[in-house]
Amino acid sequence: MARPLTSPPLALREIIILPDKRLRLVSEPVKKITADIRKLVDDMFETMYDAPGIGLAAIQVGTPKRVVTMDLAKKEGEPKNPQVFINPEILWASAETATYEEGCLSIPEYYSDVERPAQVKVRYLDLEGTTREVDANGLLATCLQHEIDHINGVLFIDHISKLKRDRVIKKFSKAAKRTVE
Ligand SMILES: [Zn+2]
């Protein structure tokens, strides 16, 4: 039989949304880069590009593993720049800070300025299991900190005022209730 004239099946995973309690889990380190981890990374890229988003932590698809995918290629048509960070950890952060307007696929359509260290040094494993280090600044530094927060159960709204945070949590909790009813 001829192969169907469709693209290969996308392995999209569902992105969990605030106030899902799993977003507060501390994810487990990856001990070995198995076929399951590679499949998780593939699915995370599919899901991230589909959303679309520039960064995704495994816990956002409900998998509490310390795995992060990212692609900071900006414009449409610009070549893709997929990056994977396994067991990422911040080794150093600058005293100097930078402020970016952040958003999150788990808190859709909500954006707020967040102040974080402007530069960070991060150690991680690549998909081959090789230990690497990156000196990040600009958007990469912000994104890495945002995603490393995720694998520690922290959300970007934890860095904004309590008043604003309570307001956004309330809004999403109400929406979740409406979905259940
Ligand atoms: Zn996020």
The Å distance, Cα 156 to ligand 1 centre, comes to 7
Which residue numbers are catalytic?
Answer: 147
Parallel, antiparallel or unpaired: strands 82-93 and 97-104: unpaired
Ligand 1 centroid from CA 155, angstroms: 7
Task: Look at residues 96, 115, 98, 110 and name the one whose alpha carbon lies nearest to residue 175.
Answer: 110
pLDDT higher than 60, residue 5: no
Range 42-69 average pLDDT: 97
* pLDDT, position 23: 98
CA 31 / ligand 1 centre spacing (Å): 24
> What does the pLDDT look like over 130-160, one tens digit per residue?
999 999 999 999 999 999 999 999 999 999 9
